[in-house]
């Protein structure tokens, strides 16, 4: 017998009381651990209400499959009100990240062809390879300067620059020059604004931004400043390409980048293009850089695994005679390492959908319209789903054991991460170059955990040492 919605366990009766408890537990920073704890207390399904934010939470891959079958034609995620409020406040258009319904679909279909199709990926490879090589050269230079033939540092700022340089070169077909010693202060400001934007978003998941705006709260003002900085830098980049395109005569052979391709295609309005390209530029910095930082951290903790990966890369290079597109087809263990990083350190704590039809999960009836969340962080650490979940084992993704709805770091289906191909290619190329040139080591035993600032970030600086091979 199917049990009714109201019998799902959990704390969903007193949103304000729960918000207070959540706040006392420093919940804004611990969301992922609180979710994990809730699954331990209530089992594989629980209902929750924090502030005005109400959801049903699930953890099992089989239930994820049910969820995504009920996502409908226009899959809709949790609305991040801070982001839509900013757009409304400044009268800016929503891009594909924030649009819904038919408008989302028509934009997304066009963007898919330019951003996530396997055909386009080949265009991105030479651009991203160049950035990878420049990163290696930069590390060599830093090592020389240190006088010790090694470089010990918190790489996060370097990785932010690497990620922004990579995504910009794909979007604009041009280099920003962030691998140089003196970088444009505007670009550095852009990077800082993205971090601030994410950080100021998380409290506003639970406290309506309208309210915070009314009382003139600092978190709202900081959020507006952050987005203002993001938009003004993106606008500059976009205007620059737009101007060049209008001055150009004759057709160039070279791949001109996502933005110029979209402008020439002429299927989306300029305002729609600007909105989505800005989101791509902003979405392309902290996500890949933090995932790479976690990966280097794991490789430093597992030296023999690091050697295994190095051997795979060397063999792949040799077999493909240096051709990067071919090399990328021969590195399953490197790809497994990135999946493993996202299992233990997912960028997104959860995936969510408003379901469009009634479903039955764990024998409970869940009505259409409910916000259902899949706890990605909790799933990745559940011993019932992954054997020895605490161990970093890229090879688990090579074995025949089932991967059914288990590799969801980029989301699922037509609403999955639009930047996925860029992110994967950029991260794989980065690891290839790093493994070919350096050994990564860790200082002493420092256990780094995650902290939630809308995306999951390391809770303390990760200090690594790079040595030449
Ligand atoms: C959406 C993860 C990198 C742009 C998403 C979603 C996830 C995600 C989980 C939600 C998907 C869903 O609801 O099913 C990641 C991870 C990344 C990454 C783990 C890197 C390790 C990037 C990059 C870009 C980007 C590099 C831009 C170049 C976007 C956009 C969306 C999105 C625009 C919204 C798509 C839509 O609503 O149609 N990402 N992302 N992401 N991501 Fe990423
Ligand atoms: C955060 O409870 C936790 O890819 C919330 O590149 C639910 C939630 C909703 C939307 C998620 C967000 C979480 C994490 C960050 C995500 C976002 C959708 C897209 C965004 C996953 C899980 C991200 C990082 C994008 C950001 C693009 C950008 C222009 C800001």
pLDDT of residue 49: 87
Task: Verify whether ligand 1 is closer than 6 Å to residue 61 (CB atom).
Answer: no
Q: Which of 224-233, 274-283, 414-423, 435-444 has the lowest mean pLDDT?
A: 435-444
**Which ligand has an atom closest to residue 76 CA?**
1
Q: State the pLDDT confidence band at 401, using cuts at 50, 70 and 90.
A: confident
Span 241-268, average pLDDT: 89
- 266, two tokens: 């002429």
Task: Verify whether ligand 1 is closer than 6 Å to residue 411 (CB atom).
Answer: yes
Residue 95, classed as helix, strand or coil, is: coil
Cα of 361 from ligand 2 centre, angstroms:
25
Task: Verify whether ligand 2 is closer than 6 Å to residue 258 (CB atom).
Answer: no
8 A C-beta contact, residue 194 and residue 457: no
Cα of 29 from ligand 2 centre, angstroms:
15
Helix (H) or strand (E) run with residue 154 in it: strand 151-154
Q: State the pLDDT confidence band at 317, using cuts at 50, 70 and 90.
A: very high
**Which ligand has an atom closest to residue 411 CA?**
1
Q: State the pLDDT confidence band at 19, using cuts at 50, 70 and 90.
A: confident
pLDDT of residue 151: 97
CA–CA separation, 425 and 434 (whole Å): 14
Q: State the pLDDT confidence band at 12, using cuts at 50, 70 and 90.
A: confident
pLDDT of residue 402: 84
DSSP state of 457: E
Cα of 468 from ligand 2 centre, angstroms:
36
**Which ligand has an atom closest to residue 412 CA?**
1
pLDDT of residue 178: 97
Residue of 419, 421, 430 with the most ligand 1 atoms within 8 Å of its CB, for mutation: 419
Given a cut of 90, whether residue 277 has pLDDT beyond it is yes
Q: Which of 64-73, 248-257, 309-318, 440-449 has the lowest mean pLDDT?
A: 248-257
The share of the chain scoring above pLDDT 90, in percent, equals 89
pLDDT of residue 347: 98
Which of 204, 200, 238, 195 minimizes the C-alpha distance to 92?
Answer: 238
Given a cut of 90, whether residue 412 has pLDDT beyond it is yes
Paired residues of 3 in beta bridges: 364
Given a cut of 90, whether residue 155 has pLDDT beyond it is yes
Span 396-417, average pLDDT: 93
Q: Which of 20-24, 153-157, 306-310, 329-333 has the lowest mean pLDDT?
A: 20-24
Given a cut of 80, whether residue 96 has pLDDT beyond it is yes
Q: 325 Cβ partners below 8 Å, 6+ apart?
A: 122, 125
Distance (Å) of CA 7 to CA 10, 15, 241? 9, 17, 56
Which of 42, 390, 409, 111 minimizes the C-alpha distance to 259?
Answer: 111
pLDDT of residue 444: 78
Per DSSP, helices labelled H in 13-96 are 15-24, 27-42, 61-69, 81-90
Which of 158, 78, 125, 88 minimizes the C-alpha distance to 348?
Answer: 78
Entry pTM: 0.97
Q: E strands within 410-462?
A: 438-442, 450-453, 455-458
Task: Verify whether ligand 2 is closer than 6 Å to residue 372 (CB atom).
Answer: no
pLDDT of residue 362: 98
Give the position, in ligand 1's atom list, of the atom nearest the Cα of 77: 13
CA–CA separation, 308 and 326 (whole Å): 19
Q: State the pLDDT confidence band at 242, using cuts at 50, 70 and 90.
A: very high
Contacts 24+ apart (CB under 8 A), 86-93: 86/223, 86/224, 86/227, 89/213, 89/224, 90/224, 90/227, 90/228, 90/231, 92/231, 92/275, 93/271, 93/272, 93/274, 93/275
pLDDT of residue 250: 64
Given a cut of 80, whether residue 21 has pLDDT beyond it is no
- Helices 420-437 & 303-319, crossing angle to 10 degrees? 100
The share of the chain scoring above pLDDT 70, in percent, equals 99
Given a cut of 80, whether residue 84 has pLDDT beyond it is yes
Task: Verify whether ligand 1 is closer than 6 Å to residue 33 (CB atom).
Answer: no
Give the position, in ligand 1's atom list, of the atom nearest the Cα of 75: 13
Paired residues of 47 in beta bridges: 10, 56
Task: Verify whether ligand 2 is closer than 6 Å to residue 279 (CB atom).
Answer: yes
pLDDT of residue 59: 98
pLDDT of residue 27: 64
- Read off φ and ψ for residue 447, nearest 5 degrees: -90, 115
CA–CA separation, 304 and 309 (whole Å): 9
Span 145-155, average pLDDT: 95
CA–CA separation, 17 and 457 (whole Å): 28
Given a cut of 70, whether residue 281 has pLDDT beyond it is yes
pLDDT of residue 394: 97
Using only C-alpha atoms, the chain has a radius of gyration, in whole angstroms, of 22
Cα of 279 from ligand 1 centre, angstroms:
10
CA–CA separation, 442 and 465 (whole Å): 6
């Amino acid at each position: 017998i199917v049990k009714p919605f109201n019998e799902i366990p959990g704390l969903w009766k007193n949103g304000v009381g729960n918000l207070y408890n959540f706040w006392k537990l420093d919940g804004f920073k611990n969301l992922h651990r609180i979710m994990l704890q809730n699954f331990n207390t209530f089992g594989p399904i629980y209902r929750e209400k924090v502030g005005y934010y109400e959801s049903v939470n699930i953890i099992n891959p089989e239930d994820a499959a049910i969820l995504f079958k009920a996502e409908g034609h226009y899959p809709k995620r949790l609305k991040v009100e801070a982001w839509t409020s900013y757009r409304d406040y400044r009268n800016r258009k929503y891009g594909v990240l924030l649009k819904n319904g038919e408008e989302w679909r028509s934009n997304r279909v066009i963007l898919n062809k330019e951003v996530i199709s396997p055909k386009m990926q080949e265009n991105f490879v030479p651009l991203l390879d160049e950035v990878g090589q420049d990163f290696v050269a930069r590390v060599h230079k830093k090592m020389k300067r240190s006088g010790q033939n090694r470089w010990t540092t918190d790489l996060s700022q370097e990785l932010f620059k690497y990620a922004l340089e990579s995504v910009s070169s794909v979007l604009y077909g041009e280099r920003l020059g962030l691998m140089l010693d003196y970088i444009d202060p505007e670009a550095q400001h852009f990077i800082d604004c993205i971090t601030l934007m994410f950080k100021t978003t998380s409290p506003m998941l639970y406290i309506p931004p309208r309210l915070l705006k009314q009382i003139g709260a600092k978190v709202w003002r900081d959020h507006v400043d952050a987005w203002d900085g993001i938009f003004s830098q993106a606008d500059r980049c976009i205007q620059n390409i737009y101007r060049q395109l209008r001055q150009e005569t004759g057709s160039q052979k070279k791949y001109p980048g996502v933005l110029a391709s979209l402008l020439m295609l002429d299927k989306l309005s300029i305002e729609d293009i600007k909105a989505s390209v800005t989101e791509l530029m902003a979405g392309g910095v902290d996500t890949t850089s933090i995932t790479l930082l976690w990966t280097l951290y794991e490789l430093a903790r597992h030296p023999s695994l690091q050697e295994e990966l190095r051997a795979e890369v060397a063999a792949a290079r040799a077999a493909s005679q240096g051709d990067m597109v071919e090399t990328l087809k021969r590195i399953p263990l490197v790809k497994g390492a990135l999946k493993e990083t996202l299992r233990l350190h997912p960028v997104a704590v959860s995936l969510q959908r408003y379901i469009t039809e009634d479903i039955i999960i764990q024998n409970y009836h869940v009505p259409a319209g409910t916000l259902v969340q899949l706890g990605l962080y909790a799933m990745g650490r559940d011993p019932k789903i992954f054997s020895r979940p605490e161990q970093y084992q890229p090879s688990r993704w090579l074995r025949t054991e089932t991967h059914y709805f288990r590799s969801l770091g980029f989301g699922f289906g037509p609403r999955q991460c639009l930047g996925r191909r860029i992110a994967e290619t950029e991260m794989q190329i980065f690891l290839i170059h790093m493994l070919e040139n350096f050994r990564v080591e860790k200082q002493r035993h420092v256990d780094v955990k995650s902290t939630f600032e809308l995306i999951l970030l390391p809770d303390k600086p990760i200090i690594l040492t790079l040595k030449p091979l």
